[in-house]
Structure 1
């Protein structure tokens, strides 16, 4: 079908725009390329490939903005003007379009498979911590509520990951690309609008993946509309001569390498990544029987008893000991919320900030102990409160009581008597009862 000059210009612009979005145009790509940090070799590979898959050109710092898209559009516009100065060559144009389409197919497949495996083996949104379960609903940001809601249903999260992986695999074959885009477009559209609605930081990147999907689907959209909606004959999609001239062994070799690296190795290392990698992996005082929610029965500051009061900024209300080395304190003390704008894997479990990100109402401390496991040195894990430290002595008493005595970062003497609350949690009881078991709370 013959196309007009205006259509030719439009197609060239879109092709160049997509091509530029695929190029490593800033230092972040090379920073990710040489970043192999991780708690293990397997996890380091998972994190390395995932970070590479998330790359998009950024011209104004590391924060993703739509301004970067405007710059790419400007560059594509300049390229289109230069392209127009050349003598018309439809065959060359077709070859450029074909190669860019192949590159977009594999780029989108890489991205959705990388995210898909993190959901398939529920890592992206872990089960809520005890502290999150004992934090008021209104003290969580919209993004944190979405993450917690996804984390409590690992089976559904795995299903979403399976959809992404399936869609990505279908993109790797030219004949199934249309089916893959039909699966991925509703999924990516939902991800994009979910990021907007829940104030997530990935709406720019998810929007970019959505444009990749639309670009690929546009190749077959007219034929599908003619065949399905108009019920008229449609010509099949023939492979361009530019791609058929590549030796079959070379094509199969490159595709095999992609499958082996992105699907085989990445899938294997992700499967063996701890499900709770988003939380610290250093054991807490669980072995000593110190785990769970504790009500602060009495609280003293500099020897003065402070009665229970929700509005008092210094009075502790309850304390949670996590299975790992985190102790969280609920109080009315102002907290500068630590916001996470992008979906990233921490370099190691010790650097994970998932448990405190997007929440207020609690102070999260990571602690170390002495040999006797009675002296606690606590450091506020929130980077906005890096100077906040506590030195406490833990004393165990009868009747599920604990006593914490020590000093805070301002030199005040604090003493708290804690009483354990034997609280059951629906998500834990449901896991014990099984799918068809009965629950008693």
Structure 2
């Protein structure tokens, strides 16, 4: 090994020391802060006002829903906060639309002209921008955490009911098919929820915001296009969340492009807020409250809520399953099996909860529900029939009967004018696999139906029994 002389050490020292000329070249290659041209200033102020208006509860709906907590029952804090997290300014029509964005753009445009007329101080723009980034970070975090937890504990898309599994594919709407396809893989649904929760948590820290947006932008883009492709009702809201994510990511986009794609020096993110000590204390208190109320309490109540979108009242024990209608009479007249007869029943499904559904050729009014709702009572839970036709759904309550093998069912249905059954129905169980239903339809005709249970196997249940490497036998 050659001996290191004093001259060699001096040369190494000179090589390792930053050279003033090299520092000057490096500094010149980095993007320097600029005051910006007048068009750039106008565009920046328009964007700030547009995003800011999208955050404000200016149509009164948010304030109205804010005081609904007292209407919720135990562990329904999930429904309450989820409803608040979905707020977006709405001005035109009954349902949200991109027209609302146009109204917001007009308001922002008017505000931009006023801002330019009364203020030439561009330092104020930087402060407004910094504060707005904080507000957008927490607003987007609230939204993705609200949706993330109902996926992490599979509530958004529950497992398909027996009635859903016995409904023809073409009798489901496009959005219901998407929801059912997600519901049959709760593990994947939970994984999607974990991605959303992780991205939302990263937004709560300024230094990890860019990582959070990198995680969330592909996810939010997929949600937006899924709503468009499957005729979902939340394409406007999902598009709004996507714009929030792009707004946050835009702050670091150029730096990342220079660093990763061009392999050139890039300035760090030095946008900070100069806060006084009281403001620092308030910031910590607000962040702590957000973590407790949104992450802690919301996550806890969501985990304890169970299947919020399906009825919680248990059904008749030992009755759940698919039944074929072997015999059917109307006013004493027997009607043979037919898929085209207007009133003849084809099959009946009893769920494990207090729902029964009847398939017949009589038209069903489609409940076109394409948005995510978390109801607070069984009377409001209509996910099982939403987006599906071909089956008539009824909820029932049981009452006392004089005979041991009889049960009285009091039915409630969504369409009493054309119901296959109304009022009180008597159910007799002559043996383990047979049911006799007798009652009256909406037109006053006496109905008697003999039901025989079908020992049908379902791929979803058999696959769960067999495991990933087991063999399926249907």
What is the TM-score with the length of structure 1 in the denominator? 0.95
Q: Could you say what secondary structure the match of 1:296 adopts?
A: strand
Is it true that 1:111 corresponds to 2:140 in the alignment? no
Deviations 1:10-34 (A, max 9, x none): 1110110000001111222122111
CA distance in 1, matches of 2:469, 2:416: 43
Contact 1:95 1:242 in 2 (8 A): no
Is it true that 1:19 corresponds to 2:46 in the alignment? no
Q: What is the aligned counterpart of 1:331 among 341, 350, 360?
A: 360
Which range moves more in the overlay, 301-310 or 341-350? 341-350
Contact 2:175 2:370 in 1 (8 A): no
Is it true that 1:232 corresponds to 2:274 in the alignment? no
Which range moves more in the overlay, 322-331 or 244-253? 244-253
Contact 1:141 1:359 in 2 (8 A): yes
Offset, 1:386:
8.1
Contact 2:145 2:197 in 1 (8 A): yes
Contact 2:348 2:357 in 1 (8 A): yes
Offset, 1:430:
2.4
Q: Which residue of structure 1 lines up, in the alignment, with residue 121 of structure 2? A: 89
RMSD over aligned Cα atoms: 1.8
Are residues 333 and 121 of structure 1, via their aligned partners in 2, closer, same or farther at CA, if it must alter by over 3 Å? same
Q: Could you say what secondary structure the match of 1:177 adopts?
A: helix
Offset, 1:375:
1.4
Q: Which residue of structure 2 lines up, in the alignment, with residue 68 of structure 1? A: 100
Q: What is the aligned counterpart of 1:291 among 320, 323, 326?
A: 320
Deviations 1:210-266 (A, max 9, x none): 000011011111111111111110100013344577643322221111111110110
CA distance in 2, matches of 1:176, 1:359: 43
Contact 1:337 1:357 in 2 (8 A): yes
Which range moves more in the overlay, 422-431 or 354-363? 422-431
Which range moves more in the overlay, 71-80 or 390-399? 390-399
Q: What is the aligned counterpart of 1:279 among 310, 314, 326?
A: 310
Is it true that 1:363 corresponds to 2:392 in the alignment? yes
Q: Could you say what secondary structure the match of 2:69 adopts?
A: coil
Contact 1:391 1:408 in 2 (8 A): no
Offset, 1:337:
0.2
Is it true that 1:347 corresponds to 2:380 in the alignment? no
Contact 2:328 2:335 in 1 (8 A): yes
Give the alignment of 1:415-434 within 5 angstroms: 415-434=448-467
CA distance in 1, matches of 2:266, 2:177: 47
CA distance in 2, matches of 1:19, 1:39: 30
Corresponding residue pairs, total: 437
Are residues 244 and 432 of structure 1, via their aligned partners in 2, closer, same or farther at CA, if it must alter by over 3 Å? farther
Are residues 15 and 160 of structure 1, via their aligned partners in 2, closer, same or farther at CA, if it must alter by over 3 Å? same
CA distance in 1, matches of 2:57, 2:114: 22
Q: What is the aligned counterpart of 2:197 among 140, 165, 176?
A: 165
Are residues 137 and 241 of structure 1, via their aligned partners in 2, closer, same or farther at CA, if it must alter by over 3 Å? closer
Which is higher, the Rg of structure 1 or of structure 2? 2
CA distance in 2, matches of 1:385, 1:367: 17
Give the alignment of 1:99-138 within 5 angstroms: 99-138=131-170
Offset, 1:382:
5.3
Identify unmatched segments of 5+ residues in structure 2: 1-32
Offset, 1:343:
1.2
Contact 2:421 2:439 in 1 (8 A): no
Identify unmatched segments of 5+ residues in structure 1: none
Q: Could you say what secondary structure the match of 2:349 adopts?
A: strand
Is it true that 1:301 corresponds to 2:330 in the alignment? yes
What is the TM-score with the length of structure 2 in the denominator? 0.89
Q: Which residue of structure 2 lines up, in the alignment, with residue 401 of structure 1? A: 434
Deviations 1:156-210 (A, max 9, x none): 0000000000000111111111111111000000000000111110101000000
CA distance in 2, matches of 1:325, 1:396: 17
CA distance in 2, matches of 1:82, 1:90: 15
